[in-house]
Amino acid sequence: MFDRIVSNPAILGGKPILRGTPISVEIILEWVASGATRDDILRKSPHLSAADVEQALAYAASAVRNEVLVAAEAGT
């Protein structure tokens, strides 16, 4: 299902990364959260493909799909 995503304890402590790169799913999410578009990411990292970026986002969505999120209150 996520053939472009791999994890190796020797690389970034086992965080999920895009196969053949040091780019983590986490960094893709950080770039998107900071306003980067898919095209921005591809310009910044030309060794990635559009499918890499899309799969990283799909992997992240899948990872949190069944998580229970608790809203933090201000000041806590």
Number of domains in the chain: 1
Between residues 66 and 38, the one the model is more confident about: 38
pLDDT for 67 beyond 80 = no
CATH at residue 31: 1.10.10.10
What domain range includes position 18? 5-65
| Lookup result for tokens 């770039």 | 31
Taking each helix axis from N to C terminus, what angle separates 25-33 and 50-65, rounded to the nearest 10 degrees? 90
The pLDDT value recorded for residue 69 is 64
56 within domain boundaries: yes
The pLDDT value recorded for residue 12 is 92
pLDDT for 76 beyond 80 = no
Model pLDDT for residues 23-61, shown as the tens digit of each residue: 999 999 999 999 999 999 999 999 999 999 999 999 999
48 within domain boundaries: yes
72 within domain boundaries: no
At residue 64 the predicted structure's pLDDT band, cuts being 50, 70 and 90, is confident
74 within domain boundaries: no
70 within domain boundaries: no
14 within domain boundaries: yes
Q: Is 5 helix (H, G, I), strand (E, B) or coil?
A: strand
Task: Give the type of residue at 31.
Answer: W
